Structure formats: C-alpha cells, structure tokens
Amino acid sequence: MTTTQPVTEPPRSLGQAARERLGTAFGPWFLPTLAAVIIFGLMVALRPLVASPTGLNLVLAPLIPLIFAVLAQMFIIAAGDIDLGIGSFIGLANVVIAVIIPDSPVAGILFLIGMVVAYAAMGVLIAVRGLPSIVVTLGMSFVWLGVAILILPTPGGVVPEGIVSFVRFNPQVVPGVIIVLTVVTVAVALFLSRSKYGAVLRGSGSNAEGVRRAGWSVIRAKVSLYVLAAVFGLLSGLYLSGQTGGGDPYIAQSYVLLSIAGVIVGGGSFKGGEVSAVGAVAGALVVGLLGSLLQFIGVQSSFQAAAQGLVLVLVLVLRALVNWIQKVRRTL
Amino acid sequence: MMIPLRTAYRRRLAIGALIVAAAAVLTGCSNSGTDAGSTGDTGTDGVKPIKIALSNYFNGNIWRKQMEASFEATAKANPDYVSDFKVVNSDGSAPQQAQQIQSLVLEGYDAIIIDAASPTALNGAIQEACDVGVTVVVFDSLATADCAYKVAFDYETYGEVEAQFLADQLGGKGNVLFVRGIAGITVDDDIYRGATSVLSKYPDMKIVGEVYGEFTESTAQQEVAKILPSLPQVDGVLTEGNDGGGTLDAFLQAGTSPLPVIIQGNSGQGLEGWVKVAQENPDYKTMSISSQPSISSTALWLSWMLINDQNDASTLPDKTVYAPLLIIPEENRDAWADALDYTQIAENPTTLEQAQSYVKSAIDGDPVLQDEPLPPTS
C-alpha cells in the first residue's frame, strides 16, 4: 500500500485534519445542498404555489420528522455504526405519545426517558463488547416494535392537543417549518464542528486510538452518540405524533433505509466520523423532496420508486466524481 | 455564516411567491369558472367534471393493481365527469403517503381518494387537505379523519357470512382452520371478529389452527402446508380473500381426504380449483366471497357527487357509504370461473347509477353490504 500511494495516503490523523480544513470551505455538505436547492427550484418552477408560506408548510412539514430521523442516524454513523432499529424506535415513541401520555403524562415521560437509557445501554453493549451494531440494532428493532404493538395492537390513540399545536406552530411572519429547520441545523452543525466535544465524538468513530491517546473515553463518546440518536429519534416521534394526531407502531418503518440514504447522500461515510449536519439535513431534503418532484413532473406511479432510486445513485456518482477530482488536484 | 443568508433569501422568496400564489389562485378560480360553462353542453347540465387523484400506499398484489386499473378505466371512460386524473403510490410508507397527499393538494386537485396506509397516520395531512377545500374520500383501508368521506366494506359481515355458511354445511360441528390476512390490520381484525362471533354460538366448532396468508395465494399455500402435519382432521377452512386457491392446493398436495369445506376468496385460481374438485366430487359444497377492487370507482363517483352536490351525498350518515362484498354461490361459480383469468379477482365495474344506489341506500339507513352478481357481459 505505502509503496504504491506514498503521497495520497499520509498518516490518518493528518489526512483527517486536511480534509477538515477543506471541509469548511467546500465540504461534503456542498453537493447535497446544491441538489436540494435544485430539486426545490424545479418544484417551484413547476408549481409556483410551493414557494408560498402555505406551500412551504405543505411540502416541508412532512419532512421534519424525516430530518430528525436522518440526524439520529447521522450520530450512529458518526460512531462508525449503523442503526436498523431507528424506525421502530420512532414508532414506539409515537405510540407512547398517543396512548400513554394522554392517560398519565408522568408515566409517559418516564417511559420516554427509559427509552433513551435503553439506547445508551445498547451503545455500551456495542462499544464495550465490540458487537456488530447491525445485528444488535436489528434485534432491538423487534423489541421496540413488539412493545409498541403490546401497547397499541391496532393503530389508534389520540395525541394531546398541546403537542399537536406545538408541532403545527406556524407564525404569520416566517413559516414554522423554516424556523425548525434553521434552528436544528445550526445547533447540530455548531455542536459537531465547532465544539471540542463534537470533535471528540466524531473522532470516536474514525480515529478511536487518537481520541484515547488525547485522554478522552471512547466508550463514553460512543454512548453519548447513542444518547443523541435516541433524543433525535424521540423528536422525530414527537413531530410525527403532532402531525398525524394518532399512534401507529409501523408508522416510521420506512425511515430506517431513508435515514441511512439521507446521511450518505448528505456526504457521510460508513467509515465513521465523516459526517456533516448541514449535509445530512440537505440529504434528508433530497431524499424527501424527490418523491414530490417526480409526482409534479408526472412520472407514472409504477416508475416512481425506480426513478427515485436512480436519482439517489446519480447523486452518489456525482459525489464520487467530485472526490476523485479533488484527489487528483491534491496530488498534482 | 450561510444560514442567515439563506433564510433572508427564503423570506424574500416567500414574499415574492405569495404574490405569485395569489395570482395563481385567482386565475385558477376563473379557469374553473369557464370549465363549468364550457361543459354545460355535454349533457351534464350545471355540473362540472372533476380533477381527481388516487393515493395508494401499496401496489404489490393483484387486488391493488386491479383497484388502480378500475379507477383509471372509469376515469378514462367518462371525460364528461373526470377532466384530469392521476395515480400515485407511496410504496408502503405512511409518512410518504402523507407527503404525497400534501403535494396533490398543491397540484390543485378537486378531490383526492385514498387507500390509506394507516388509520391514524394520514389524519393530519387529510385535515389540511380538507381545510383548503379539497374533497377527500378514503376507501377500502380507511383513515379516521372526521372530515373525510368513507367508502367501506363491512368486513365483520364478511366473517359472519362465511362462518355461518361453514356452520350450516358442517351441521354446527367440526374443526376449523383459519387462514387470516395480515396481523395487526383492521381488515383482518374485523373479519376475525365477525367469524368468531358466529362460531361462538356453536360450542362444537373449534378453531384448531391459525396461519397468516397475507391475502396472497402462494403465501397461503406455504403457510397451510407448514401447519397441516400438526393439525387433527380439519373439517372447514375460513379465509380472508385471495387465499382459498393456495389453501386448496396445500390440502390436495397433502392428499387429505375427504377435503374440508374451504371458503374461496374470489380469485380465478381459487374458482378453477373449486370447479375441478366439484367435477370429481359433485357433493363438494362451498362458497366464495371477497371485497371488490372496483371500490376505487365507487370512491370516484362519490367524489363527483360531493363536488357537484348531487344525490344529497353530503348528508350521508357518518359520511360513510358501503360497497357490497361480492359473493359467488355455487350456481354462479362456473360463469365466474370462465370469466376470470388465473390471477384475477372477481369484480363488478361500478357505474355512476350503482354508486348512486349505494349512496341512497346508505342515506336510507339500509346499506347494501353484499351482492351476488353474475360476471359482467362484454
């Protein structure tokens, strides 16, 4: 290896630093953001109504829970793991909010806190015992789903009015969805790329040895990532609950693969550590808006899924191309 | 650094778009006005054709494909009633279906008919559609939103009818295998409740096994074949639609004799199997029952009635119309078996007149829950 590529593969920590500096200028968030803007622009061109406050709300509101799910998945992927249980976890949160909280808010909130603790425990198990996250999270997904079905065998329940109006909060001046989108993106992005602990968290996935040598606990960092993922999973469940008004254990099953796609389209990598909050949000928008765009264009319903997949692959191909060009430039 | 810039831009965009939107709404209004005028000469005086979309969440089985096809055929054949139509699919995902519904609202459809992924998950999106004046009709797999009209099958009746037939055939005594649909969905729940309420009246009728056939012949065959070796003698089989043919094959392959009374589920495969068994054993009796894919056309006609204020459709009790279950008794068996392909499900294409009669009977408080038609002649 070292003899064939002596220049392009410097020691890992250095490479990481170089990529970071490059990242802030023209980073992995750029391409997905561009793609999201293009898709949104096309939608506005096809239906100008989309850009009105009502239109923005109609188009973006259903994507808020998906954005939270993608951010949850991003924390797990930052740890170098994959979470196949996030969909069922969000479904369980939805069921708790629709069934337990109306009866007894205290019990419901304790239950939700218990779910976060369970996620932390799962993180400990994966980090300490070195178990494959795919298997553990897949196994836990059946636990979340099973508990949700025990609480609510068939969809139903009523989400408390307070949560519904909080989630649908929509002031006259700026659409509520824009506020949520901006606040969440800025907060997570600043935490991950500007704070010291954010760097430690990302390092735990890509460069565990370096983090350990710097005197931080890798296990604690990984568990923190799992806790963050659980909290964002709960937020996703909260928004889904408020938007739908009822509970359904199966509601977020499709989020498992969509959230992984969102992170990867958003510039993340399975290697761990390489994630971008802005990119992940943009990735979620790309994954989520594509369906609406294809619908506006009038792609026949049977081809919609295939067309959606093709566009996602196209984005990844473009990204590989950009990476390749950057690499070539660096070596020249 | 870039975020505030983006919001500022978006805000300006939003204000600009507001003006565009206002203009769009105004022109939209005047357009629909001229539409109504220009179609006055087509024989549907004073009524306007509607722009309607069908939102389906799954099209992976033959029932759903026929359901979409029925909607498209009815829409295409009636340009005086339907000016524009579209079918969208969400691939099994409730949040995606909610998003689709909101996109359809933005596309300006007068009516959206929905085969819902979940009784609760779409209620927010449906409410928002109603709030901006879109007519929403849910059908088959229903959503509970108050503002939506509903076209339903009475699945409890489904269970009652087949269980009563079985009890009569077996003289109120025997072992029953239940081939159910999909766990945790309301259709399965309702049929099961209806059937078990009848069986509870016959203490000598016992359910000795339950499997999930997922309304799919091949799955039903595999599941029944797996459970058969563990069962005592089975005298009758209750099914939930498009699963009786596979069940029959499983019993035939196991060499079971005598064959149990297997309720069929209106598929071409099941009816052909029934014909063959009856040729060898003229004493073999059973029946066939299922829901009709053409319910999508009933939902289309109901939307048209609601938008054009016809037939007092807006006064429907509980906003609910029932579409009849299609029952094939022995005397209609051969006709239907001839009319259907192997992978087709029996249905009666719903005309406006039929839909109007369903609406009338529902308003009169005497809904038509079941029907025994012969196949359409064409």
pLDDT at B46 over 70: no
Average pLDDT over residues A79-95: 95
Residue B22, pLDDT score? 46
The overall average pLDDT reported for chain B is: 87
Question: CA–CA separation, B52 vs B75, rounded Å?
Answer: 9
CA distance B139 to chain A (A): 17
Question: What's the rounded mean pLDDT across residues A177-190?
Answer: 93
**pLDDT of A268 above 50:** yes
Residue B6: name the closest of A239, A181, A231 by CA: A181
Whose tokens are 């425990």? That residue is: A121
What pLDDT band is residue B354 in, cutting at 50, 70 and 90? very high
- ipTM exceeding 0.90, yes/no: no
Q: Is 50 exceeded by the pLDDT of residue B171? A: yes
Residues of chain A contacting B20 with CB distance shorter than 8 Å = 48-49, 51-52
Say yes or no for a CB contact (<8 Å) between A251 and B94. yes
Which residue does chain B place closest to A63, by CA atoms? B99
CB contact under 8 A, B120 and A247: yes
Q: Is the pLDDT of residue B79 over 80?
A: yes
Q: Choose among B351, B368, B318: nearest CA to B154.
A: B368
Residues in chain B with CB shorter than 8 Å from the CB of A291 are 90, 96, 99-100, 103
Categorize the per-residue pLDDT at B115 as very low, low, confident or very high, splitting at 50, 70 and 90. Answer: very high
Q: Which residues of B touch A302 (CB under 8 A)?
A: 59, 89
Bridge partner list, B327: B289
User: Lowest-confidence range among A156-160, B72-76, B221-225?
Assistant: A156-160
Residue B39 pLDDT greater than 80, yes or no: no
A305 → closest Cβ in B91, B100, B128: B91
**pLDDT at residue A90 tops 60:** yes
B277 torsion bin: left (phi>0), alpha (psi -120 to 50), beta (else) = alpha
Q: Bigger pLDDT: B191 or B11? A: B191
- Which of A49, A51, A251 has its CB closest to that of B95? A251
Partner residue opposite A182 with nearest CB, options B3, B91, B186: B3
Question: Burial letters for A246-265: b for 16+ Cβ neighbours within 10 Å, e otherwise?
Answer: bbbbbbbbbbbebbbbbbbb
Three-state DSSP class for residue B141? coil
Which of A127-141, A261-275, B22-36 holds the top average pLDDT? A127-141
pLDDT for residue A272: 79
Using an 8 Å CB-CB cutoff, list chain A residues near B89: 301-302, 304-305
Q: Is the Cβ pair A62, B132 closer than 8 Å?
A: no
Q: pLDDT tens across B195-228, in order?
A: 999 999 999 999 999 999 989 999 999 999 999 9
Give the highest mean pLDDT range of A256-265, A268-277, B57-66. A256-265
What's the Rg (C-alpha) of chain A?
20
Q: Which of B226, B229, B220 is nearest to B248 (CA)?
A: B220
Q: Which residues in chain B are closer than 8 Å to A178, comparing Cβ atoms?
A: 7, 10
pLDDT mean across residues, chain A: 87
DSSP annotation of A99: I
pLDDT band at B87 (very low <50, low <70, confident <90, very high): very high
CB B280 within 8 A of CB B254: no
Instruction: Give the per-residue pLDDT at B45.
Output: 57
Q: Tell me which chain A residue has its CA closest to the CA of residue B103.
A: A292
- Predicted local confidence at residue A169, as pLDDT: 85
pLDDT of residue B36: 37
Cα(A139)–Cα(A124) distance, rounded to whole angstroms?
A: 15
Partner A, chain B 302-361, Cβ-Cβ below 8 Å: none
Lowest mean pLDDT among A110-114, A261-265, B374-378: B374-378
Question: Quick one: closest CA in B to A303, which residue?
Answer: B89
For position B26, what pLDDT does the model report? Answer: 41
Of B17 and A39, more confident: A39
**pLDDT of res. B209:** 94
Query: H/E element holding A310?
Result: helix A301-331
Strand residues in chain B grouped as ranges (E): 50-56, 82-89, 111-115, 135-139, 149-152, 174-180, 205-212, 236-238, 261-262, 288-290, 320-322, 325-328, 370-371
Query: Each residue of B269-299: pLDDT tens digit?
Result: 999 999 999 999 999 999 999 999 999 999 9
- What is the crossing angle of helices B155-169 and B186-199, to 10°? 30
So what's the pLDDT on residue A88? Answer: 97
Least confident stretch, A159-163, B91-95, B256-260, B276-280: B91-95
- For residue B260, pLDDT over 50 is answered with yes
Is the CB of B99 inside 8 Å of chain A's CB atoms?
A: yes
| Residues contacting residue B25 through CB under 8 Å, at least 6 positions apart | none
Q: Do A58 and B128 touch (CB under 8 A)?
A: yes
pLDDT tens column, A138-149? 999 999 999 999
Which tops the pLDDT comparison, B36 or A145? A145
pLDDT of A34 over the 70 cut: yes
**pLDDT of A19 above 90:** no
Whether the pLDDT of residue A3 is over 50: the answer is no
**Mean pLDDT calculated for residue range B52-79:** 91
Q: What is the pLDDT of residue A195?
A: 87
Taking residues B224-248, report their average pLDDT: 95
pLDDT confidence of residue B61: 80
Q: What is the per-residue pLDDT for A1?
A: 40
Euclidean distance between CA atoms A321 and B222, whole angstroms: 47
B177: left (phi over 0), alpha (psi -120 to 50) or beta: beta
pLDDT attached to residue A26: 60
pLDDT on residue A308: 80
Question: Higher-confidence residue: B365 or B41?
Answer: B365
Q: Which residues of B touch A183 (CB under 8 A)?
A: none
What mean pLDDT comes out for the span A17-33? 63
Tell me the CB-side half-sphere exposure of residue A318, using CA atoms within 13 A: 16
Confidence at residue A2, expressed as pLDDT on a 0 to 100 scale? 41
Minimal Cα distance from A305: which residue of B? B91
Of all residues in chain B, the one with the smallest CA distance to A253 is B93
**Is the Cβ of B122 closer than 8 Å to some Cβ of chain A?**
yes
User: What is the pTM assigned to this prediction?
Assistant: 0.79
Instruction: Give the pLDDT band of residue A297 (cuts 50, 70, 90).
Output: confident
| Sign of the four-CA dihedral A276, A278, A282, A284 | positive
Q: Which of residues 162-191 of B touch A (CB under 8 A)?
A: 184-186, 189
* A24: pLDDT strictly greater than 50: no
Q: Which residues contact B6 (CB under 8 A, 6 or more apart)?
A: A182
What backbone torsions phi and psi does residue B305 show, to the nearest 5 degrees? -65, -40
Would you say the C-alpha torsion B19, B20, B21, B25 has a positive or negative sign?
A: positive
User: Is the Cβ–Cβ distance between B13 and A51 less than 8 Å?
Assistant: yes
Q: Which residues contact B228 (CB under 8 A, 6 or more apart)?
A: B234, B250, B251, B254, B256
Give the H/E segment covering residue A261. helix A255-265
